[in-house]
Amino acid sequence: MDEMITLAHGNGGRRMRALIEEIFAPALGRPDTQADAAAIALPEGEIMVTTDGFTVQPARFPGGNIGALSVHGVVNDLAVSGATPLYLTLAALIEEGTSVALLRELVASLGEAAHEAGVRVVAGDTKVLPRGQGGGVYFTLTGIGVRTPGCPPGLSAIRPGDRLLVSGPVGDHGIAVMLAREDFGLRGDVRSDAACVLPLTRALLPLRGLRFMRDPTRGGLATVAHEIALATGLGIELEEANIPVRESTQAVCAILGYDPLYLACEGRVVAVLAPEEADAALTAWQALPGGAEAAIIGCIGATPGPVVLRTPIGGSRVLPELEEDALPRIC
Amino acid sequence: MDEMITLAHGNGGRRMRALIEEIFAPALGRPDTQADAAAIALPEGEIMVTTDGFTVQPARFPGGNIGALSVHGVVNDLAVSGATPLYLTLAALIEEGTSVALLRELVASLGEAAHEAGVRVVAGDTKVLPRGQGGGVYFTLTGIGVRTPGCPPGLSAIRPGDRLLVSGPVGDHGIAVMLAREDFGLRGDVRSDAACVLPLTRALLPLRGLRFMRDPTRGGLATVAHEIALATGLGIELEEANIPVRESTQAVCAILGYDPLYLACEGRVVAVLAPEEADAALTAWQALPGGAEAAIIGCIGATPGPVVLRTPIGGSRVLPELEEDALPRIC
């Protein structure tokens, strides 16, 4: 195998075939790389589909890399919709000059994450972008899963007084990636939270008071709160003291002027539950390795209103919708 | 709406929501843009899945643009596998500085092509790439369809003596895109053949002698022949005089030193049929607007061997597997 990706690895010919057979196929459980389309079998249930492009830069960061992150991102979108993820497709856009060793590592990591999440990569595509028209490796994954219809019921089921929970500290992924870029001359001990959230979502699905779940990725926890407020037409109150944020992440945020509530997580879940089942949900999450630091962080208001953060000293401030802030290639 | 795509259009906040609601949602039949995953319903049959990344440059070329091309590419992969395409997902990687008017035009074209092919875009994602880390607009689409299992039977059903057909002239897409780049100071009257091939594939599915279909995209007709030879272990003979190539495409190929047999098509089908049904297939194709110039172009050999092109003057030459030739961003 060559050491660098060249344009010929994308031309449909011998080198592309070699790339697929030597790098992709072995790491992905040897899907049929000869077919135009893959046949899949699905169990009973409502079929759920999601897609996501991944562009995180650098490709490796503390706690993960773009390969595993891509799987987690798509699997998590299915998981919060209540689905069991079963199949993935993978389209790679690879920049000319990318190291084959790096690509091999990322694809291996992608394959491992898929295996751990119980999903199979069944179809793929690779394109090579000329130098300067790409950014290393971009992966786009599509996920297919199956769920019990109406479980969870979704945004329209949210009622005044419902509680918001988050499964763990927020903002770690955003800060870990920013530190890995070394743009700021800062070092910190922050690892991305990137992980598969299936154990967390599965733990809540049996609860009849479960309304809605979402993973707070781009735009972070505050953006999920805004999406809920927008969809329900109800205000939201968050208790700052209850929102878990790691000290190391908070410290970097303070230096750089970032608000961790707006930073991407890649292994957290926000859930909305009827008030009488919020404690049961919290207990279920705290019993899991990925949910030890889960917390009840706020509630849905009785009337239309903004997303408000109550501060520990008794004040409150409105959390605006994310506006100009641009953190490209964070996921 | 702003005039240019900025990094804030990819941050998960207000501008990204505006971009999705103003550009993508109206053009794509207003899918649910609030959900993490989309529920789809499928009729009886074998579920087929395919994915493809599109990077063609320039984004517009005679006969198409990257929006419509993306739909055709994915729909055609399902079509040649015998499936009826039903759903698409769309992930866009948009470079900072891309004109919003251009994006609007491309997404509108994508939506129209989807509508014409009878497929619905049910899930999407947008990411913005910093200037210099993208190339305008990249679309990755995943397609889901349903087919009658084993129809067509596939590569393993191909037998010695089977005939190869092509549905129309080859190489137009590759030449149209190259001319549109204006790299060579050439002008020509070549339009891309980019089109939905569903009418062509549907016309052959009732034929019991149908073995296999594929659309000759990257690497062209010669690469499909190689894929068949590789999978069957049998040689292939192509009759040069019978392979349709437009005069205008041939003329540009002659000047630039390209072989049209290796150039991408985006609206053609190569089919393999039992000899006794080759004429029926040809007649069926020639009755269709997209198949008027269809031809029987060769046959599967009785023994292992190379892919051979018989020339009109009675000679023959081996068509090698595509090697170094690099035509980046042709699809």
**Contact (CB<8Å) B39/A51:** no
**What separation, in Å, do the N-terminal and C-terminal C-alpha atoms of chain B show?**
29
Contact (CB, 8 A) for A102 and B63: no
B193: nearest Cα among B224, B227, B216 = B216
Contacts of B35 in chain A (CB under 8 A): 81, 154
Radius of gyration of chain A from its Cα atoms, rounded to whole angstroms: 21
pLDDT of A324: 77
Q: Supply the mean pLDDT for chain B.
A: 95
Burial (CB count <10 Å: 0-12, 13-18, 19+), residue B315:
exposed
CA distance linking residue B325 with residue A244, whole number of Å: 54
Cα angle value A142/A191/A140 (rounded, 5°): 15
- Render B256-305 in DSSP notation, one character per residue: HT--GGGS--SS--EEEE-GGGHHHHHHHHHTSGGGTT-EEEEEE-SSS-
B221: nearest Cα among B191, B245, B248 = B245
Cα angle value A129/A131/A135 (rounded, 5°): 70
pLDDT of B100: 97
Tracing tokens 């004109």 back to the chain, one arrives at B99
Contact (CB, 8 A) for A271 and A213: yes
Whether the pLDDT of residue B1 is over 80: the answer is no
**Contact (CB<8Å) B127/A15:** no
pLDDT of A185: 77
Nearest CB to B91 within list A51, A321, A329: A51
Nearest CB to A35 within list B46, B81, B129: B81
Distance from CA of A302 to the nearest CA of B (A): 22
Distance from CA of B204 to the nearest CA of A (A): 17
Q: Give the ipTM of the model, two decimals please.
A: 0.96
Residue of A142, A197, A221 best to disrupt the B interface, most CBs of B under 10 A: A142
pLDDT of A187: 77
Pairing of strands A295-300, A236-239: antiparallel
- pLDDT (mean) for B47-60: 98
**Contact (CB<8Å) A48/B39:** yes
List CB contacts of B135: < 8 A, sequence separation 6 or more: A129, A130, A133, A134, B55, B57, B95, B329
**Token couple for A47:** 């079929």
- pLDDT (mean) for B209-236: 97
Whether the pLDDT of residue B130 is over 70: the answer is yes
Three-state SS string across A47-85, please?
A: EEEEEEEECCCCCEECCEEHHHHHHHHHHHHHHHCCCEE
What b/e string do you get for B55-85 counting C-beta neighbours within 10 Å, with b at 16 or more? bbbebebebbbbbbbbbbbbbbbbbbbbbbb
Distance from CA of B114 to the nearest CA of A (A): 17
> At B211, is the secondary structure helix, strand, or coil?
strand
pLDDT of B326: 66
- The residue in chain B having the minimum alpha-carbon distance to the alpha carbon of residue A222 is B13
pLDDT along chain A (331 residues), means of 10: 90 91 95 91 97 97 97 98 98 98 98 98 96 97 97 97 98 95 81 98 98 96 97 98 97 93 97 98 97 98 96 94 83 93
Cis ω before A152 (30° cut-off from 0)? yes
**Contact (CB<8Å) B134/A133:** yes
> Which pLDDT band holds residue B294 (cuts at 50, 70, 90)?
very high
Residue of B52, B128, B140, B198 best to disrupt the A interface, most CBs of A under 10 A: B140
CA distance linking residue B151 with residue B170, whole number of Å: 25
Amino acid identity, position B181: R
**Contact (CB<8Å) B53/A144:** no
Contacts of A264 in chain B (CB under 8 A): 12
Nearest CB to A142 within list B36, B51, B126: B51
B124: nearest Cα among B23, B194, B15, B48 = B23
Contacts of A219 in chain B (CB under 8 A): 11-13, 16
Contacts of B134 in chain A (CB under 8 A): 133-135
Contacts of B217 in chain A (CB under 8 A): 12
What b/e string do you get for A55-88 counting C-beta neighbours within 10 Å, with b at 16 or more? bbbebebbbbbbbbbbbbbbbbbbbbbbbbbbbb
B133-148 pLDDT, tens digit per residue, is 999 999 999 999 999 9
Nearest CB to A36 within list B8, B57, B214: B214
- The residue in chain B having the minimum alpha-carbon distance to the alpha carbon of residue A128 is B328
**Contact (CB<8Å) B328/A129:** yes
pLDDT of A326: 66
Distance from CA of B119 to the nearest CA of A (A): 14
A183: DSSP letter: S
Provide, rounded to the nearest whole percent, the portion of chain B with pLDDT above 70.
100
Pairing of strands A307-310, A236-239: parallel
**Contact (CB<8Å) A8/B37:** no
CA distance linking residue B54 with residue B61, whole number of Å: 14
> At B72, is the secondary structure helix, strand, or coil?
helix
Pairing of strands B120-129, B84-95: parallel
Q: What are chain A's domains?
A: 7-147 (3.30.1330.10), 155-318 (3.90.650.10)
- Render A290-317 in DSSP notation, one character per residue: GGTT-EEEEEE-SSS--EEEE-TTS-EE
- The residue in chain A having the minimum alpha-carbon distance to the alpha carbon of residue B73 is A36
What is the enclosing helix (H) or strand (E) of B307?
strand B307-310
Whether the pLDDT of residue B252 is over 90: the answer is yes
B171-205 pLDDT, tens digit per residue, is 999 999 999 998 777 777 899 999 999 999 999 99
